[in-house]
Structure 1
């Protein structure tokens, strides 16, 4: 392969990495901040599903700020900390693995919560409570911290910060494919479809009389369907992004120890950076998917923006009084 193709591929890799990081980090961070504001609003702050989405946004924001900025410093500002400092390499790899795993399973918990909330069985509906959600979130964080400890032990600064070649590289690839992609995304789809089935059954049930409780149930079903729509759309996009990202990382990690030509090494770097683009895209997408998928989400967001605008208008006259007005 001639050198011009290798140079062009290296330039394309650098361009792709630069554009993606400089766009996805601020865009995704603003999206996560808006999610946090919306899910803590009075309309949604007592909803257990919204609480799971809130926790997801918090962890996604951590990944974008910590992981994205550190990679930006390494690739575009000459930082060598990740490839020369062994402890920093291990800590960063551990945090990225643990936080990413926990964020994925928060979405799964939201799917399970919606499934339970729409069940015809009272004992299942009791699962969908904010106090239970608080306990489950704490338990999920503890489990995520424990099961990700292997990345702290076996990541090393070799040509970057990568898992040790050999058995662990294979294990880490399987962990990415199964534990952070196929398993949670499949369960999210299953519970989301199950929730739609519960809603359909609830609508088909014969109601003896149209009471206030029935009207309340109808309003609840509208809210549940909006949350399920958000969740299902998010799951579909997550599956497509995860499969692409995991395929790139699996190939890169499993072939790191193989002898390659200069051009093949350039191709491998391109594949790895392509996976990074989808990594940060996965943590930047939720706000924009929620906005497109849910009327409820757009409504709450619009109300928050209007309230902020009106408060700003009330403050402006007090801070911009003309001197002649003061004299008068």
Structure 2
């Protein structure tokens, strides 16, 4: 067996192992994050804000991604359990519920960016209201679903002399499908988010330099909350750009080399690099909770309140009181030991 053949075999083996084990940390951490996000975003302190509803929509979409997109990918590419290669209907449904939730996840963050921008220029208040946000979420979901309805028609089982796969029909439609997914999910939202994020920061700097008339000054709590929500949002935008940027590059490469004849070694290399980049893109759906916790005090405060509420129901006392009591006892013991010596 030649060195090229050995390399191909090794790369194919590594591809299976990467698809089997690398997604697991994303799945575990993402599950913890999604559950805590849902609990915290539905607390009254945050739920009354329109921006939070877009973040909650993003969280629900991420839940679907983790337990549909990631899980089915582990089974198909890691363990070769893939009903989409035997059932044409399952193939169509699998990719429809891959493209729609992943796209909605980024669209909801984009809508949250637009919401913060609208708030920064003091547009009519109904554009920053919870009812308006809910209507926009429903409309965005319908538009996204209709946009990817072509998947239910033109995706299916594709057979060749060497393999059987589930994907778009070959030819012009496959190029269209890849570019649509690339623009709708990765490139388009990231660029628009960046533009609205920078515009919002610029508007806030201008507002700080202005003296508003008496009676229209925002309350201190509202200003602080809006500022921290913006910080959470910008960190999430950065997370999306970092994790989806390589995915966008890989998708462009796959699209424009679609008709290039490749050797088995190059195919194995492309499959492995594509798997790594695709799995890393799950980070934008799995790590939101940890970004929010690091970037916003208001989120940490609601998290602590949630933990304290659960602890109080189980133990019958406040966690804060328990911690204070433990610290006091530790301090008294330390002082006693110092007096002894």
For this structure pair, what is the TM-score category when the shorter chain's length is used for normalisation?
0.7 to 0.9
Change (3 A) 1:83 1:254: farther
Instruction: Name the CA distance, whole Å, in 1 between partners of 2:183 and 2:77.
Output: 29
Normalising by structure 1, what TM-score? 0.87
Instruction: Name the CA distance, whole Å, in 1 between partners of 2:191 and 2:64.
Output: 25
- Specify which of 125, 148, 168 is matched with residue 173 of structure 2: 168
Counterpart in the other structure of 1:141: 141
Please tell me whether the aligned partners of residues 23 and 74 of structure 2 are also in contact (alpha carbons under 8 angstroms).
yes
Counterpart in the other structure of 1:153: 153
Gaps (5+ residues) in structure 2?
A: 159-163, 318-341
Change (3 A) 1:80 1:126: closer
Please tell me whether the aligned partners of residues 18 and 78 of structure 2 are also in contact (alpha carbons under 8 angstroms).
no
Instruction: Name the CA distance, whole Å, in 1 between partners of 2:128 and 2:32.
Output: 29
Aligned pairs for 1:64-79 within 5 A: 64-79=66-81
Q: CA deviation at 1:20?
A: 1.8
Structure 1, 89-98 or 243-252: larger mean CA deviation? 243-252
Please tell me whether the aligned partners of residues 117 and 126 of structure 1 are also in contact (alpha carbons under 8 angstroms).
no
Cα RMSD (Å): 2.0
Gaps (5+ residues) in structure 1?
A: 316-328
Aligned pairs for 1:219-258 within 5 A: 219-256=221-258, 258=260
Counterpart in the other structure of 1:25: 27
Structure 1, 77-86 or 254-263: larger mean CA deviation? 254-263
- Specify which of 206, 226, 250 is matched with residue 201 of structure 1: 206
What is the count of residue pairs matched by the alignment?
310
- Specify which of 183, 187, 193 is matched with residue 178 of structure 1: 183
Instruction: Name the CA distance, whole Å, in 2 between partners of 1:135 and 1:208.
Output: 33
- Residue deviations 1:192-216 (CA, integer Å, cap 9, x gap): 222222222222222466x7x64x5
Q: CA deviation at 1:218?
A: 2.8
Instruction: Name the CA distance, whole Å, in 2 between partners of 1:161 and 1:30.
Output: 31
Instruction: Name the CA distance, whole Å, in 2 between partners of 1:296 and 1:104.
Output: 23
Normalising by structure 2, what TM-score? 0.84
> Which contiguous aligned blocks of 4+ residues in structure 1 show a shift greater than 3 angstroms?
252-259
Counterpart in the other structure of 1:299: 301
- Residue deviations 1:288-310 (CA, integer Å, cap 9, x gap): 11112222211211221122112
Q: CA deviation at 1:10?
A: 2.3
Q: CA deviation at 1:254?
A: 4.8
Change (3 A) 1:117 1:186: same
Instruction: Name the CA distance, whole Å, in 1 between partners of 2:197 and 2:145.
Output: 27
Instruction: Name the CA distance, whole Å, in 2 between partners of 1:270 and 1:248.
Output: 11
Change (3 A) 1:47 1:205: same
Q: CA deviation at 1:182?
A: 2.0
Structure 1, 92-101 or 278-287: larger mean CA deviation? 278-287
Residue 121 of structure 2: SS of its match in structure 1?
Answer: coil
Please tell me whether the aligned partners of residues 19 and 73 of structure 2 are also in contact (alpha carbons under 8 angstroms).
no
Aligned pairs for 1:182-193 within 5 A: 182-193=187-198
- Residue deviations 1:100-158 (CA, integer Å, cap 9, x gap): 1122111111011111122234x2x3310001111111111111110011222222222
Q: CA deviation at 1:52?
A: 0.5
- Residue deviations 1:2-50 (CA, integer Å, cap 9, x gap): 2332233223322322222222112212211111111001111111100
Q: CA deviation at 1:56?
A: 0.6
Residue 281 of structure 2: SS of its match in structure 1?
Answer: helix
Instruction: Name the CA distance, whole Å, in 2 between partners of 1:271 and 1:157.
Output: 24
Residue 162 of structure 1: SS of its match in structure 2?
Answer: strand
